[in-house]
Structure 1
Amino acid sequence: MITIDGKQIKLQIWDTAGQESFRSITRSYYRGAAGALLVYDITRRDTFNHLTTWLEDARQHSNSNMVIMLIGNKSDLESRREVKKEEGEAFAREHGLIFMETSAKTASNVEEAFINTAKEIYEKIQEGVFDINNEANGIKIGPQHAATSATHAGSQGGQQAGGGCC
């Protein structure tokens, strides 16, 4: 649960492990997703070189409005860096992605990556880019957004429906 613009937002996160052997399964996760984090290891050039393939998969099997953030992970291993930060930034810029570097080991920028992605999704909702009534977009509006009369009409014995989330 995170808070954006004073609203409680529940993120549902699926880690597809990024393994080639799981690629067909990974494709199914893109359907119905509002956002994706594409992660490469800054100490392994081959993971950066595979980004184009993973990005093509994401775009082919997802909503065209899906927010995609590119993450260069292991920023704590600067001495072993094989992919310059500028390369990641350039790839992101070229493909219209958000970019940041993180370290899962030290937790540097990890939470921020999820929050920034969620903020971008939220902004697209506010702009009307995402149809919030179509769950195929990967967004589900909680019960507190239902019409007041419908919420009260559906409650029994004075109980009110619980507050859900997006």
Structure 2
Amino acid sequence: MHTRPRLVTSIPFWVLVAGSLAAIIGGLAIVLNGINAMEEVLNDPNATVVQVYVGQSWVVVGAAVLGAGAVGIVAVLALAAATALTRRADISVESIDWDSDDETAVEPVATAPSAAPLAVEDADIETPSTTPAPPQAAAARHDEPRLDAGDDATRR
């Protein structure tokens, strides 16, 4: 019987948890490091403009990574709640007794009557004659329908 794995034993669930926690920790480290660097540079009278503005950029990057980790944790909590609220269907599986001689298998019911086999006869093979057809045979076939070749010269 194949069932869904429980959330506790689901590898993708734990990868999401670990990745989200790593993103939160990494984002916090980047943000705190950037804020400390900005404080030092802003208090230094000899700091350049590049040193001041690079710290702000790193804080923004760290905040984005921190936010991605927070979204991952929210997804983990929503997945855990959805799994806890859904019930598994109770499935009963009948075991097969291979040692039993009782054949209880249901025979398939034919929906259409079976057709009788086709009778195949030897084909008559005619060889084309090399003699031209007599003129009265052509005259007798003058009323037969013909394919239109599209050429008006043959009609005259």
TM-score (norm 1): 0.21
TM-score in terms of structure 2 length? 0.21
User: Which has the greater radius of gyration?
Assistant: 2
Q: Which has the higher strand share?
A: 1
Higher helix share: 2
